[in-house]
Structure 1
């Protein structure tokens, strides 16, 4: 099986519970196709560089996957159909990074400083 990182951006008007449901649906698609989700990271609601489908912000979620290519194809197909997801990207990696991603480390560091997100 191959290693992948799948990141999707969900609409800004969704509640956190709805974002969690989207994450669970993605996990179910992978496990139903003989793969596994190694790690899930929710980066929270962040500002985007430009508007996408009238959204200035989005909920960012990253999944680290160990799965066959057919499962990734099905995940991307289902993601394209879902109107709550405004963007997604899946990349194949040689190995998963140990510990939290760079974005999570940045969020932790900013949280300690008391930095607030700009609008």
Structure 2
């Protein structure tokens, strides 16, 4: 059977238990039609690049799926109906990742560094940004 990665974004005002229930519901849809969910990862509440349906953040969830194409079509149909899901995407892959996904490894690295890592706590480059404000008024 072909392999798929299905990622969906749930509304920001949902509790983590509700997001887990959405992932469980998706798994039930797949397993009811002879497919298998090999991994479910919750990437947590993350900022969006732009507002989607008045949401600035969303809960990200990824499922690794081993199922025929008809199962994926049904999963996408049911996901599209659900009002709690604001975006989703399913991609066919050659093989499924064995360990944690790239996003989970990135989150672990950020936690180890104690924050955003690499930025030193600054959001912008302060070198020379105030040069016009420090003019010589007495000359």
| TM class, shorter-length | over 0.9
Task: Please give the secondary structure, in 2, of the residue aligned with 1:106.
Answer: helix
Partner residue, 2:22: 22
Runs of 4+ in 1 over 4 A off after TM superposition: none
Runs of 5+ consecutive residues of structure 1 not aligned to the other structure: none
Q: Deviations over 1:36-84 (max 9, x none)?
A: 0010110000001000000000000000000011110000000000000
- Residue 97 of structure 1 deviates from its aligned partner by 1.8
Partner residue, 1:4: 4
- Quote the RMSD (CA, aligned, Å): 0.7
Bigger RCO of structures 1 and 2 (CA < 8 A, at least 6 apart): 1
Larger % of strand: which? 1
Report the number of matched residues.
116
Runs of 5+ consecutive residues of structure 2 not aligned to the other structure: 117-139
Q: Highest CA radius of gyration, 1 or 2? A: 2
TM-score with structure 2 setting the length: 0.82
Does 2:61 correspond to 1:84?
A: no
Task: Please give the secondary structure, in 2, of the residue aligned with 1:87.
Answer: strand
TM-score with structure 1 setting the length: 0.95
